[in-house]
Every structure is written in structure tokens, then in C-alpha cells.
């Protein structure tokens, strides 16, 4: 318990500093964990309590991913979603996988590294758009739809990694059965859910917390990955009142996710498990690959390299989902590689988004302001 107190106090200080400097806090939480843990001072160690809170951070993160999956909104913007998403997927997954495999990772490890390499941080992307007052530019909606497409792809990757050595057909039946249960409960219990959410006492918050935790427990009981079931719960609840569920779940997600990040850093072992030159190559390629996909997307959608550079500066940062993949499936070398990549790209992406004008100066077209964009919810 003392370790959690120390970690949270350090993270509170770092959060205050990062907000004051307008830079993302996530890399500093991970760095704090590395410094406090076995790779640094050895002041804090992971235990059952910290593992429980870290698990809570992960499942609430995935619940938010589900809340952001609005099928009707996606279908209304098919061209933008598919064009930006397919370019982003092909460029970054291929470069990430090839780089990891050529640098000595196994096929499965290369897939995990590639998925983390591919996944931009929704939290950091949206935050940078808000803080840098860019929500009115035309590329902002493309950036957010890009995040939604990444969520969909990563759900598929989670399903494949979760299946392991199981019979894929049986596993698919189990998962689809779980999804059907979630949607049936949300559909037929919609009036009940809305009545709960409309209350002004503690019941909406308590209900949301219990629903998420109970779903994860129910999934483990059935032998279904809790990660997928919690995403399904969020997607099912998104058909009722996703804004209310987000409001009630956000305090749990924000606090537990900080614990998740810092204790992920605490478990990282940097001694003898990684090659710094290899990680340096991965980090450079992570920035460069998003540049390629961003420019290609800008040219495809707007006929403008300037738009592509704006998309790039806001999608460089990797973050929460990359760390989740490392925590769930990564070996020590994979986890260490992803952790450093997240730290480097988060910091580079933060400053690139803030000073994007340096990169776009001299280009014509792109970034023109327009009316308020549609209200879009994004997941990871």
C-alpha cells in the first residue's frame, strides 16, 4: 500500500508540472515508474494490490474504447474512415512488423510491436487538438476518425492474441455469444439503464463501476477474454447514453489508468533486456512512418501535403493502447521497447503538434477552418 501512495504522490506532482508546461503526462508516469522500480531506485515494487488497481485501469480504458464505437456515425463517414484508416494501417503495421522482425523479434513479438507501433494515442491526439485550438481545422475530424479505425483494428488484434492456441471457431462462437448477451441486455434494458443514469444520487456511478467490473469477472468465469467483453459492454452502452456513462466512469479510468502506467514502468527491467540501438531505430521509424501515412492521407483526402503534415504532427504520439498491448502480451524485451517508444513519440508528438506551423510553413492548402465539427467520440 505504501508503494501505491508513493507512486500516486509522484504522479500528482508530475501531472501538475505537465499541465503547467502543456505537455502529455503519460510518458512521465512511465518514467516515474522506471525510476521508482527495479530498473531505478527500487523504492516501489508491484504487488497484488497494485496489480488489481492496474487491471482496473486497463478494463476501464477498454470500456471507453467500446463507448467510442458508434457504428451509425462510422457508416455516415465511410470514405474518410476507410481511406485514412487503410493508409494508416498498411503503412504503419507493415513498417512496424518488418522493423521488429528484422531486428530479431519473433513473429508473435513482431506482431505485438507492430500493433503498438501502429496505434496512435487517442487521448494525446484529442488533447493536443483541444489545447492547441485546432478542433476547427478540417483535418481534425480526419484525425479522430483515424483513431476510431485504429480502435476497430486493435480489437481484432486483441481477439487474435487472446485466442492463443484455442480452436478459432470455438473461440469466435464464445466471443460472439458474449457480444450477443451484452447487446441484448442493452437493447431490452434500455429504459432501465436510462432511468438509472437520470438519477442524481450515487446510483449511476455505482452502477457503472459494478457493470464494468462484473462484466470482466463474468468473462473470466466463462473463459472469454475480459478485454473483449468490456469493449463489448462499452459498445452496447453506447447505444443508450454514452456521454452519461463516460461521465460516471471517467474518474475511475483516470485514477486507475495513472496507476496502470506507473506500475507498468515499475515492472520494466532495462538491464540486459534491450538493445538501445535497436530501440532507437524503432523510435525513429515510428515517427517517420506516421509522416508517410499522414502525407499520403492528406494527399488522398485533400490533395494537400500540408494537410498530411498536420495529420502527422497530431498522430505521432503512441500511448495508452500501446502500453496495454505490452502489459497484456509483451515479453520483457517487447515491453521495454514499447515503453521507450511511447515515451519518445509522446514527447516528440506533443511538441510537433504544438509547433506544427514550423513543418507546414511554405505549403499551400490544408488546415482551413470551417464550422464546428460533428461531435465525435473516440475510444483509446
Q: What is the structure's pLDDT at 366?
A: 58
Q: What is the structure's pLDDT at 165?
A: 62
Q: What is the structure's pLDDT at 379?
A: 47
Measured CA to CA, the distance from residue 350 to residue 352 in angstroms comes to: 6
Q: What is the structure's pLDDT at 100?
A: 94
pTM over 0.85: no
Q: What is the mean pLDDT of residues 225-233?
A: 85
Residue 272 pLDDT greater than 90, yes or no: no
Residue 372 pLDDT greater than 50, yes or no: no
Confidence class of residue 157 from pLDDT cuts 50, 70 and 90? confident
User: Which CATH number does 2-360 carry?
Assistant: 1.20.1530.20
Q: Where in the chain are the domains?
A: 2-360
Q: What is the mean pLDDT of residues 216-241?
A: 84
Confidence class of residue 332 from pLDDT cuts 50, 70 and 90? confident
Residue in the block written with cell 452502477 = 207
Q: Dump pLDDT digits (tens) for 52-77.
A: 888 899 899 889 888 877 766 666 77
Confidence class of residue 345 from pLDDT cuts 50, 70 and 90? very high
Q: Which of 35, 345, 329 is nearest to 163 (CA)?
A: 329
Measured CA to CA, the distance from residue 137 to residue 341 in angstroms comes to: 28
Amino acid at each position: 500500500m505504501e508503494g501505491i501512495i508513493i507512486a500516486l504522490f509522484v504522479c500528482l506532482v508530475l501531472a501538475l508540472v505537465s499541465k503547467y508546461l502543456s505537455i502529455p503526462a503519460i510518458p512521465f508516469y512511465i518514467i516515474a515508474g522506471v525510476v521508482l522500480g527495479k530498473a531505478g531506485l527500487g523504492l516501489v515494487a508491484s504487488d497484488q494490490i497494485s496489480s488489481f488497481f492496474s487491471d482496473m485501469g486497463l478494463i476501464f480504458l477498454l470500456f471507453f474504447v467500446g463507448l467510442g464505437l458508434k457504428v451509425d456515425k462510422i457508416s455516415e463517414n465511410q470514405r474518410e474512415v476507410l481511406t485514412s484508416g487503410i493508409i494508416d494501417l498498411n503503412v504503419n503495421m507493415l513498417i512496424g512488423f518488418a522493423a521488429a522482425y528484422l531486428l530479431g523479434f519473433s513473429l508473435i513479438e513482431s506482431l505485438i510491436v507492430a500493433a503498438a507501433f501502429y496505434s496512435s494515442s487517442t487521448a494525446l491526439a484529442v488533447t493536443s487538438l483541444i489545447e492547441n485550438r485546432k478542433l476547427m481545422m478540417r483535418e481534425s475530424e480526419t484525425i479522430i476518425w483515424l483513431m476510431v479505425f485504429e480502435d476497430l483494428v486493435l480489437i481484432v488484434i486483441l481477439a487474435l492474441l487472446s485466442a492463443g492456441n484455442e480452436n478459432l471457431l470455438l473461440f469466435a462462437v464464445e466471443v460472439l455469444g458474449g457480444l450477443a448477451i451484452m447487446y441484448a441486455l442493452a437493447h431490452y434494458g434500455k429504459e432501465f439503464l436510462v432511468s438509472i443514469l437520470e438519477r442524481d444520487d450515487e446510483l449511476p456511478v455505482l452502477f457503472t463501476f459494478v457493470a464494468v467490473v462484473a462484466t470482466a469477472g463474468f468473462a473470466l468465469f466463462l473463459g472469454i477474454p475480459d478485454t473483449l467483453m468490456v469493449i463489448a459492454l462499452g459498445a452496447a452502452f453506447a447505444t443508450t447514453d454514452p456521454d452519461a456513462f463516460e461521465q460516471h466512469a471517467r474518474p475511475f479510468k483516470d485514477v486507475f489508468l495513472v496507476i496502470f502506467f506507473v506500475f507498468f514502468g515499475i515492472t520494466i527491467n532495462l538491464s540486459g533486456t534491450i538493445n538501445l540501438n535497436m530501440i532507437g531505430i524503432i523510435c525513429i521509424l515510428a515517427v517517420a512512418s506516421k509522416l508517410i501515412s499522414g502525407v499520403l492521407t492528406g494527399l488522398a483526402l485533400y490533395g494537400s501535403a500540408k494537410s498530411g503534415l498536420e495529420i502527422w504532427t497530431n498522430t505521432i504520439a503512441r500511448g495508452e493502447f500501446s502500453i496495454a498491448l505490452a502489459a497484456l502480451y509483451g515479453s520483457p524485451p517487447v515491453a521495454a521497447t514499447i515503453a521507450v517508444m511511447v515515451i519518445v513519440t509522446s514527447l516528440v508528438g506533443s511538441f510537433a503538434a504544438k509547433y506544427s506551423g514550423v513543418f507546414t510553413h511554405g505549403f499551400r492548402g490544408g488546415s482551413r477552418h470551417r464550422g464546428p465539427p460533428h461531435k465525435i467520440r473516440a475510444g483509446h
